[in-house]
Amino acid sequence: MTIDRKQTFTTAEIEARLKAELPHWRLEDGWIRRTYKTNSWKGTLMVINTVGHLAEAAWHHPDLTASYAWVEVRLQSHDAKGITVRDFALAKKIEEVVQWQPGLEADGPLEGTPQHDLRFAYVKYD
């Protein structure tokens, strides 16, 4: 079975998928959106670079807006003029990578960024 990458979802379908799969994302003005809060400009740039790498690798490019301590990611398939499976797939990958917290892995070798010391903390995890 071939996936139609340009088939768009209805508003009800989008909202149901976001609720079930991406609860921190929202539908607004025809885009699925997520705002990532950071602790500083350094964290903001790290989120932007992470999203940029994933988007380029996926060949699906979001719109970004950034400030000192936040980044908003907006996804929409321009060629399909709506939200498609590509938008959900990229949103899931972005969420997985940006929200990854290695210090939470049981007995894992990676300890994670010290969140209690703002010199090192960068993303405010949900």
Q: What is the pLDDT of residues 63-107, one digit of tens each?
A: 999 999 999 999 999 999 999 999 999 999 999 999 998 877 666
Q: Where are the domains of the chain?
A: 28-100+113-126
Q: Are 34 and 76 in contact (CB under 8 A)?
A: no
Fold of the CATH domain 28-100+113-126:
Gyrase A; domain 2 (3.30.1360)
Tell me what the pLDDT averaged over the chain comes to. Answer: 92
Q: What is the pLDDT of residues 115-125, one digit of tens each?
A: 788 888 888 88
Q: Are 14 and 32 in contact (CB under 8 A)?
A: yes
Partner residues linked to 34 by β-bridges: 73
Helix and strand element counts for the chain (H, E): 3, 4
List the structure tokens of 124. 């405010």
**CB-count exposure of residue 18 (10 Å: 0-12, 13-18, 19+):** buried
Pairing relation of β-strands 26-28 and 63-67?
Answer: unpaired
Pairing relation of β-strands 31-37 and 26-28?
Answer: antiparallel
Q: Are 21 and 92 in contact (CB under 8 A)?
A: yes
| Total-model pTM | 0.91
What percent of the chain lies above the pLDDT cut of 90?
74
